[in-house]
Amino acid sequence: MALDYNALLNPSQAAAVLQTEGPCMIIAGAGSGKTRVLTYRIAHLLEKGVDPFNILALTFTNKAAKEMRARIEKVVGPNAKNLWMGTFHSVFAKILRSEADKIGFPRSFTIYDTQDSRTLVSQIVKELELDDKLYKASTVLGRISAAKNKLVSVAQYLNDPVIRQDDEAALRPKIGVIYQQYQQRCFKAGAMDFDDLLYQTNVLFRDHPDVLNKYQNKFRYVMVDEYQDTNYSQYLITRKLAAKERNICVVGDDAQSIYAFRGADISNILNFEKDYPELNVFKLEQNYRSTKNIVWAANSVIKNNQEQLRKNVFSENEDGNLIEVIKAASDNEEGKLVAQSIYEDKMNQRLSYDDFAILYRTNAQSRAMEESLRKLNVRYKIVGGLSFYQRKEIKDLVAYLRLTVNPNDEQALRRVINYPKRGIGDTTISKLINVAEESNHTLWEVVSNADQFMPARVSNPVVGFAEKIKSYTVVAAKEDAFEAAKFIAKNSGMIEELYADKSIEGLSRYENIQELLNGVKEYVDDPEREDKSLGAFLQDIALVTDSDVKDAAQEGEAVTMMTIHSAKGLEFRNVYIVGLEENLFPSQMMITSRADLEEERRLFYVAITRAEKKLTLSYATSRYQWGNLRSCEKSRFLDEIDPQFLNVKFAAGPAEREQPFQHVFERRSNLVAAPPRKTVATKYVAPADFKPSDTTNLQAGQRVEHPKFGFGQVATIEKQQGTVKAIIQFEEVGEKTLLLSFAKLRVL
């Protein structure tokens, strides 16, 4: 029985679902149900009789793909399992596994993660005798990644005068040479990095029209989620695949384009109509997630961007709470006030800590928040820390597994050739590497025949290591991924070595190896997995994204802390956006051009729209930077929020008002309710002879005078991390917490 989409969806959503033929763009505002629309759109195609093998759906996380597939399966049944659905990298890695030999790579190619790539770049920098401080691996890799995302080959890079001038101006004229050697070494090792999965797919489609034609005929319907986050390489692949049938549907929101630093190009969505003049455009403007006040506040911010596809996002939810703004004297006080607010709301409203999220512009801001949460015994988890697959012992065992599948994987070979120790020292390894370079052989070829290049006493352990790897390859060819991994973990000596370490750290590393093997077992036992080989498992974990990793240590009720970039696509009942100060948010690096500033504003918009019921914004008037306390100015973004959506409560009457941002809500620094504040009709005016005193020895109980707040009595003095704060009960404006290094006080 066909589904009645007009009954299941709002008019805009239904129209987008039912328009299956020709190019289509769905502009999906925050919380507008785009996953629901994509789900039903694919279900509708399947209902019409389209073969699921002919549908390609591309997402940006494995989690999103898995969620969508599960939803589609609920609607149409097991037929959904046959869809080509996944991240750009996982889908095109799958295609490259079938076609890699056409561009000179083995089908068992290794996928290098960021750490592998950095290690290789560092080795090349060292071999070229370049300054590793100037040629930092992360900096060089960023430049190489940007080139690949724009499909700039090594030859083009080396011959482009503009690129050359840029590198010379940055005092890094050898980046082109490093890029060249990096690509040569990857090719020789039968390895691709993440960017190569897209770059090499473009090369494959460019140089082999027959292969392109094969996949154009296969994928009659192409759908792309989060299209605003695509880079040039992704844009070109999808455009080529859809060129024949022109049944391409892209879904996204230009107002949530926040990944320019990764190569995302907002012009892909802004200019989509230029590629497809016959384009059908649908706007999903009803926000089902947030209260009206949150939606209206977000709209008042994003309207300041010039480069955008105009839409009118609205909500039919309740008005909800006004947005609170916390103004703190320092970053430590900001952390204290935020932690206190979470604690109070959790207790008073009987919420779970899972209902709360703290979002910040940079990871470094988590420190003050963490300290304050710990003091109140508030459990929290940080998203974006060291992932399970980046831990040393996991990297070590995975290197053995990779080497088993692809013996030419030089990075894996270097990592484990002498781990656990087997008498192959650095001198021997250097000799092996030199022989490989001079003879133009792979390192594995030299290691396998070490007895031909060095004396027996030195070569014996090397040959013994090679024999081990060969035996693992035999086992992996016969057994599934779990049996092979278990055999390798035991036979390599890793399990024995880690078990022998009885320290807490050693026990943790041993348990992590067990957990990895558990993960391999789960992979093999999954009935939906057709390929249960070790190679298939390695590809699966190589393509895990940050948002797909669930750390067991973070299970249980907890406040979520993360950067705003990591929060994209998530939602929480109560959200705190902290550190809203100029040069922090917007970032100092992003205020030199309108395009950069508009990206920062989009980032703020994304942060606001993560909140469902309550949104709190905070900033500090002083913050530590490199050990020095600096005064801060509130973010321009706060001034862009229409004041009617903010908590209309003055901190201290007209004396405290700031134009145009007037509504500042200050909270006490403890859990005791603040006494009622008196209304001040006129601003306190200090006498003409007012002169601040030396407050070095200020004591609790002393009376003081402040040029703005008037007379008061010192309640307590707090010393913390080199700063001294005075909590003062003023007669007219109530309690204030002042940093003595900034406060102007006359001791009476």
Single out the catalytic residue among 34, 36, 71, 361: 34
Angle of helix 392-405 versus helix 534-542 axis, rounded to 10: 130
Does 31 count as an annotated binding residue?
yes
Query: Are the CB atoms for 696 and 370 separated by under 8 Å?
Result: no
Q: Which two tokens stand for residue 154?
A: 């090594």
Does 29 count as an annotated binding residue?
yes
Q: Which two tokens stand for residue 462?
A: 């090397």
Single out the catalytic residue among 41, 327, 381, 610: 610
Residue 262: name the closest of 187, 198, 170 by CA: 198
Does 464 count as an annotated binding residue?
no
- 599 labelled catalytic: no
- 35 labelled catalytic: yes
Query: Are the CB atoms for 59 and 18 separated by under 8 Å?
Result: no
Query: Are the CB atoms for 701 and 709 separated by under 8 Å?
Result: no
- 225 labelled catalytic: yes
CA dihedral 363, 366, 367, 368 (to 10 degrees): 140
Does 263 count as an annotated binding residue?
no
Residue 143 contacts by C-beta under 8 Å, 6 or more apart in sequence?
A: 167, 172, 175, 179
Does 456 count as an annotated binding residue?
no
- 226 labelled catalytic: yes
Single out the catalytic residue among 195, 196, 225, 581: 225
In this structure, how many other beta carbons lie within 10 angstroms of the beta carbon of residue 349?
Answer: 12
What string of H, E and C letters represents the secondary structure of 598-645? HHHHHHHHHHHCCEEEEEEEEEECEEEECCEEEECCECHHHHHCCHHH
Q: Which two tokens stand for residue 52?
A: 């699921």
Does 328 count as an annotated binding residue?
no
Single out the catalytic residue among 19, 20, 35, 729: 35
Residue 581: name the closest of 648, 661, 646 by CA: 661
- 102 labelled catalytic: no
Single out the catalytic residue among 99, 113, 226, 612: 226
Q: How many angstroms separate the Cα of 646 from the Cα of each of 292, 610, 620, 665, 728?
A: 12, 17, 18, 9, 27
Fill in the DSSP letter of residue 666: -
Strand partners, 326: 618, 665
d(CA 693, CA 746): 5
* Residues annotated within a binding site: 28-35
* Residues annotated within a binding site for ATP: 28-35
> Annotated active-site positions, please?
34-35, 225-226, 256, 610
